[in-house]
A and B are shown apart, each in its own frame.
Chain A
Amino acid sequence: MTDTHIGNGFVPSGQLQLGIFFQGVNSGTVWKSPESGSQTDFESFRRIAQTAERGLFAAFFLGEGLRLREHLGRPHALDVVGRPDAQTMLAALASVTSRIGLVATQNTTYNDPADLAHRLSSLDLLSGGRAAWNVVTTDNAWTGANFRRGGYLDHADRYVHAEAFVSTAKRIWDSWEDGAIASSPGASAWAAPGSARPVRHEGKHYTVDYVPRLPRSAQYRPVLFQAGDSPEGRDFAARQADVIFSAHPKLDDALDFRRDIVERAVRAGRSANDLKIMPASEFILAATPQEALEKKNWVRSLQIGPEQAIAYLEQFWGRELQGFDPDGPVPDIDPVVEETSETRGSGFHGAKAKQLADQWRAEAKDKGLSIRQFVSARTSRGDSSFTGSYAEVADRLAEYARTGAVDGFNISPWLIPTGLDDIVNHLVPALQERAVYPTEYAGSTLRENLGLATPVRQEAGAGNTAVGNTAVELEV
């Protein structure tokens, strides 16, 4: 039986929140259906964001593209690709929504802290306190080829760099005294002189010397999301983040992850309930379990067609496999590269290619899977998928709320722009009937709607060696 105890003073809220992650890349989004809409037209974004808001979703997420994924040295052709700049799109959505949070994934490696903090602050004010930043890092020179800096960061340094970046951003957001701006046009000055403190940072990778231009927002400062799953990533989140966009939606994994994060948060001097967890997930729903299963098979066949199945293996074999039958067995020839020559930008790393190929051949043979079935099983993120009738899935989700395994789910719709319709029309009411989902927005800011506490003002140089407002980045 699943151990649902968490400890360290953690108290389940008994409630769930939903977010929507408009992916824009990868095989999860079906583009081959007649219902599949544009990935770039504003109407797709407006439609799905407004549907999410109708369903009282807490957050609308966008990823960030810094370089197109490649496959065997060319742009990857088989999945949806081509997405807008996150903050520009979210600024536009801010004018046609009023409650939903607007979360921009932004990279610490190829942005400047002063510029990025200013733009996030700007989005936060424009949206009335609904902005959030999903903090990600990159280390490879391949991505750096699109930027002035080029590749400059070692893998080992990426979280040290990211944390210094986030600390600097927080100091920028907290630099204005509350109430600094005059309350009437008759005042002697627009803002009390000296009410914005300069922020200085000197580190191994960058320096900042900046007088911030914007005051705090209705939610004080943008909410911070973090998605890294390594021990370093988890500790970074435990120290800095408000919400973890996790990779652990299966109930027992989610409980283990919660336990681990609570321990890390308490160790970092925070309270057990300070960090919210929202795993990535996919929902395939219908009125009956049987219909849902049929729908799932249909979705999978569109997500992983014969071409995607072969291309997926090619990433790991490092060679063309066009001669192999997608409905036949996993190829009996060996990979030509020692390390996997993965589709760049897709996030696969590391395993020794030949060893991996042997393992996959054995696994597919054991289970009697063709190439296509095998790849579909691997890429469907079966653990993150909730398939079933509305009532069934609502019952499953209620168990997550009861145990406190997660605070909600970040849903990647497999269809754009109508992929949230059945969730909002049927699943949300079923969750409300079970008293595990809000019946109205708690407030007007994202922080209020996620139930997050007002942040403590970041004092100059917290976490660093501080001299006045100058922080010296501690880097190894």
Chain B
Amino acid sequence: MSTAAQGFLALELDGDGAHPAAWRKARHTPAELLDGTRVRATVLATESAGFHVATFADGPLTPASSDPGGRDIPGGLNALQRAAFAGPVTGSIVLVPEVDTVYTEPFHISTQLASLDYVSGGRAGWLVAASDRAADAAAVGRSVVASDAVGREAADSIEVSRRLWDSWEDDAVVRDVATGRYIDVDKLHYVDFESTVESGGAGYSVKGPSIIPRPLQGQLPVLAPAGLLGADQLSAGAVDAVLVSAPTPELLAGEIAEARAAAPAAAIIAELDVVLDARGQSAAGRLAELDGHTPWQSSRARFVGTAAELTGLLASILETADGVRLHPAVLDVDLEELAQLVLPALRRRGVLAPQQTGSTFRHLLGLQRPASRYAAVSVPSAASAASAAEN
């Protein structure tokens, strides 16, 4: 994707915010985090603030180890289900759950994501996660996948989903009353995927076809963090967007350029932690107070300051990146500042793409709806040839 004149903004919605102590500043009781009312309110606030994309962190089954004292939130609702729950009650925001690829079943993931595309009217994407933690392997009774094989596990899982999403051609459901056929079986395809990864001694295969017709978008956009996949996978178009991190905001530009060189066809999304002045408190003061409870360890660039300064920084990042994903320290507090001060200012500057009701994630990324890879093959399938031979 070439750099568009206008960019998009994503907001990460997990928990009460990106800071581990965020729950102490939330505007609800701790238990209310884990219900549908909270999910609905948060996503609707994000959509009405003008964000283009909401992401839902999840991935591993087990909580992060960054909280050795066990004082912060130990768990959360399944990310894909939160995104699905938000689908029918939203109209323009893109819904992107994080889903692990290493300790999950690729067939189930593919079906779940395709279903998310249906319940959101084509506003779904997939943020690929790849766990390298022993606890996640133990939860499902698998041996640990070596860290150098994790990227290939992720690439295989993406490939399985992409093939399954294509395994029903767009016009496979024919409902032809005259011949009594609900589907045209020539437009359904076995995917016959064979894993190339020998992780824990076990490769795997997936036969197909999918159990659900082709997703509304044909292919859901797939997002992955820079560095997860190899150069050959990126250049082969395994992902549609790459998430880029850097130790400081100043270093993001270099990383963005590098990611664009590695994946010229993909959208580049910069990752940014955000703490804003709010409620009469300086951002630095808020951060110090939160860190006093639990220190915030993050590999992302961090912005701590005023709404006006953040507006300038985002406009500058969007000159080279296609989008920015914000990780608010405290969702309830920072989202309000973003909604009231930052996004309106960016819109006035004309650097944000318009929000479009009823549009798709592919459209936001400037991607065409692709034909099924199997539709291009016009020779009869082996099965239909065999069946003809029997007659």
Q: Hey, which bits of chain A sit against chain B, CB under 8 A?
A: 31-32, 36, 39-42, 46, 65-68, 72-75, 77-85, 87-89, 91-96, 110-112, 114-115, 118-119, 122-123, 125-128, 145-150, 181-191, 193-194, 196, 206-215, 305-308, 320
Contacts and interface: CB of A to CB of B under 8 A. Distances in A.
B348 interface: no
Given A114-B61, A209-B139, A190 B30 contact: yes
Nearest to B90: A95
B24 interface: yes
Contact of A95 (B24, B73, B89, B107): B89
A125 B78 CA distance: 10
B23 interface: yes
Contacts of B86: 95
B173 interface: yes
Interface stretch (B198-206, B236-244, B273-281, B314-322): B198-206
Contacts of B80: 88, 91
Interface SS, A side: loop
Given A73-B386, A94-B36, A95-B40, A32 B30 contact: no
A377 B289 CA distance: 73
A210 B139 contact: yes
A80 B177 CA distance: 12
B30 A187 contact: yes
Interface SS, B side: mixed
Interface residues of B, number: 82
A184 B29 CA distance: 5
Contacts of B254: none
B306 interface: no
Contacts of A208: 138-141
Contacts of A31: 175, 182
B204 A214 contact: no
B87 A42 contact: yes
B74 A190 contact: yes
Interface stretch (B2-10, B183-191, B223-231): B183-191
26 contacts: A41-B118, A65-B111, A75-B209, A77-B185, A81-B183, A84-B114, A84-B118, A88-B81, A111-B105, A112-B141, A115-B61, A115-B140, A122-B81, A126-B36, A126-B81, A126-B85, A150-B205, A181-B30, A185-B30, A189-B72, A208-B139, A210-B61, A214-B34, A214-B75, A214-B76, A307-B180
Given A84-B119, A189-B71, 6 more contacts: A41-B118, A81-B183, A115-B104, A209-B135, A210-B62, A211-B74
B111 to A, nearest CB: 4
A77 B114 CA distance: 21
A126 B39 contact: yes
B390 interface: yes
Contacts of B69: 189, 193
Nearest to B78: A122
8 tightest A-B contacts by CB? A213-B75, A307-B180, A65-B211, A92-B119, A84-B115, A122-B78, A88-B115, A91-B81
Contacts, number: 244
Interface of B: 23-26, 29-31, 34-36, 39-40, 61-63, 69-78, 80-82, 84-89, 103-108, 111-112, 114-116, 118-119, 121, 135, 138-141, 168, 172-173, 175, 177, 179-185, 188, 202, 204-209, 211-213, 383-384, 386-387, 390-391
A94 B87 CA distance: 11
Contact of B211 (A67, A88, A149): A67
A96 B86 CA distance: 10
Nearest to A205: B141
Given A77-B182, A89-B84, A193-B70, A125 B34 contact: yes
Contact of B26 (A111, A148, A185, A194): A185
Contacts of A320: 390-391
Most-contacted residue by chain B among A190, A194, A308, A320 (CB, 10 A)? A190
Nearest to B208: A146
Contacts of A215: 31, 34
Given A92-B85, A122-B81, A207-B141, A190 B391 contact: no
A185 B30 CA distance: 6
Contacts of A213: 61-63, 74-76
B77 to A, nearest CB: 4
Given A85-B212, A148-B105, A185-B29, A307 B139 contact: no
A73 B141 CA distance: 34
Contacts of A80: 182
Contacts of A184: 29-30
Given A181-B30, A320-B390, A78 B181 contact: yes
Contacts of A209: 135, 138-139, 141
B108 A182 contact: no
A306 B181 CA distance: 11
Contact of B72 (A40, A94, A190): A190
A31 B78 CA distance: 34
Nearest to A183: B29
Nearest to A213: B75
B35 A125 contact: yes
Contacts of B204: 147-150
Contacts of A87: 81, 112
A212 B118 contact: no
Given A88-B115, A186-B24, A119 B30 contact: no
A75 B383 CA distance: 10
B363 to A, nearest CB: 19
A65 B110 CA distance: 12
Nearest to A69: B211
B387 to A, nearest CB: 7
A147 B34 contact: no
A23 to B, nearest CB: 13
Contacts of A83: 211-212
Contacts of A81: 182-183
Contacts of A115: 61, 103-104, 139-140
B82 A126 contact: yes
A94 B108 CA distance: 20
Most-contacted residue by chain A among B25, B106, B213 (CB, 10 A)? B213
Nearest to B100: A115
Nearest to B67: A190
B207 A146 contact: yes
Contacts of B185: 74-75, 77
A306 B105 CA distance: 39
